[in-house]
């Protein structure tokens, strides 16, 4: 399932990150990488950003990028 399709308040594990190497590395250095648990806080209408909790930190991720994050319950 893609992060954009996930319901809010659900905690899932990141399975795969799709996208350019640059983007993968940026996400990874911010702590979003395969095997990590994330909790979705919200998604915004009109292809707005997805916010999520990674560890103790909260992130806002653009819709396109969030679509590339494949998660598993």
Partner 1 sequence: MKDARSGGDKKVLLMGNPNVGKSVIFSRLTGARVAISNYPGTTVGFSHGEMKFGAGEIAMLMDVPGVYSLHSLSRAEEVAMEMLEKGNVVINVVDATNLERNLFLTLELKERGVPVVVALNMWDETRHKGIEIDVARLEKELGIPVVATCGLTGVGIKRLVERLTEAEVKKFPKLDRDHKWEEIGKMLDVSQKLRHHHHTLLERLEDISTRPVTGLPIAALVVYFSFRAIVFIAEGLINYVMDPLFEKIWWPLMTSLSSYLGENGIVHDLLIGKLVAGEVDFGQSFGLLTAGLYVPLAAVLPYIISFYLILGILEDLGYLPRLATQVDNLMHQLGLHGYAILPFILGLGCNVPGAMALRLMESRREKFIAGTLMAIAVPCMAQIAMIVGLVGSRGGEYVALIFGVLFTVFVVKGFILNRVMKGRSPEILWEIPPYRMPKPAAIIKKLWMRVSEFLGEAVPYVLLGILFVNILYISGIFNWLSNIFAPVLNGLWSLPKETISAMIIGFLRKDVAVGMLRPLGLTTKQLVIACTVLAIYFPCLATFIVMLRELGIRDMIKSAGLMLLTAAVVGGLLNLIL
Residues that bind partner 1 (CB under 8 A): 8, 22, 25-31, 33, 41-42, 44-49, 51, 54-65
The smaller minimum CB distance to partner 1, of residues 1 and 63, is found at: 63
The two tokens of residue 43 are: 């998604």
**Cβ contact 17:24 at 8 Å:** yes
User: Nearest approach, Cβ of 5 to partner 1 (angstroms)?
Assistant: 17
Q: Please give the sequence-ordered ranges of beta strands (E in DSSP) within the chain, or none if there are none.
A: 11-17, 37-43, 50-54, 57-61, 69-72
The least distance separating partner 1 from the CB of residue 47, rounded to whole angstroms, comes to 6
């Amino acid at each position: 399932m893609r992060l954009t399709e996930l319901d809010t308040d659900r905690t899932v594990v990141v399975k795969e990150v799709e996208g350019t190497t640059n983007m993968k590395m940026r996400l990874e250095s911010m702590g979003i990488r395969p095997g990590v648990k994330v909790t979705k806080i919200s998604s915004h209408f009109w292809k707005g950003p997805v916010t999520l909790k990674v560890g103790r930190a909260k992130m806002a991720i653009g819709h396109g990028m969030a679509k590339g994050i494949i998660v598993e319950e």
